[in-house]
Every structure is written in structure tokens, then in C-alpha cells.
Amino acid sequence: MVNTIDMQDMRYLNLFSKITQVDTRFCFSYNDTLIFCVPKLKLAMALWRDASNLRRLSDILRKRVRIIPAPRGIEDAKGFIECIVRPVVFNSLEVTPNELIINAGSQQNKALLMGRNKKRLLEMQDIVRNYFSREFRII
């Protein structure tokens, strides 16, 4: 899955583990939001009552924080990408042997998925490359 973890990510993961009591190795940034991926069975434990752990992490880091279920394989790719880009919606996800292709639908959704100067597109390409070893395109 994720190939390298830099020192800042290691600090985030240690803080996450200390607060939530859930160990994970998956942490990345998308659209100025810090996203942690945990096993689906431990998602409720990571959030805790009324998402108190989420608020506590957000207050300490002074960043938006999200906790999503980790994908178990390429079959979970659509749900994983939907969780990352939420609230933006897309029409469909096509999986080919070499790439994942998102059909954005309207021009506005395509612009939201790409971001200014293609920032979100580049971030999503890195995420897909690390998690699924495939290229990523938006049409």
C-alpha cells in the first residue's frame, strides 16, 4: 500500500494512536485535510462517542481531520475514493488493468475534483498509485 512515511506522517500516526488507541499505518493529506485510514471494524473505536476523538485530533493539529475505512483491495476502490472526495460526487468509476478512470459527470464536478492548478488531481494520483498501484484519470 503506502510506500514511504516521512517524519511528519510518523508524528501524525503516533498522535492518532495515542488518542484513539487504534494502530494504523495509513495517513495522507487531501484538499488540506488529514485523512487516516483504519480497518472497517475499528472505525467506531477510532471515532469514539460523538466523534470526540476526531474533534480532539482536529483541535490539537489545528487541521481538518477525517477517519475513513481502509480499502481491502481494488473492489473497495469506488467506496474509498467516494469517502476521500466527499461531498463532491462522481458518476462512475471504471477499473482497468493499468488505471482508475472517474467519470465526473458535469463540468462543475470535474473542476471540483481537479482543483486549482490540478492540486487535488495530483494528490489523488499519488493516493491511487500508493494504494492500488494504478494510474488515475478524470474524464
pLDDT tens column, 101-125: 999 988 999 999 999 999 999 999 9
Residue-wise pLDDT for 68-101, tens only, equals 999 988 999 999 999 999 899 999 999 999 999 9
Threshold 0.75, pTM exceeds = yes
CA distance 6 to 12: 10
Please say if the pLDDT value at position 41 is more than 70.
Answer: yes
Please say if the pLDDT value at position 6 is more than 80.
Answer: yes
DSSP for 17-64, written as a single string: HHHHS----EEEEETTEEEEEE-GGGHHHHH-GGGHHHHHHHHHHTSE
According to the model, what pLDDT value does residue 1 have? 52
What pLDDT band is residue 3 in, cutting at 50, 70 and 90? low
- CA distance readout (Å), 55 to 16, 63, 65, 80, 138: 12, 10, 8, 22, 32
Percent of the chain with pLDDT over 70: 98
According to the model, what pLDDT value does residue 4 have? 73
Please say if the pLDDT value at position 2 is more than 80.
Answer: no
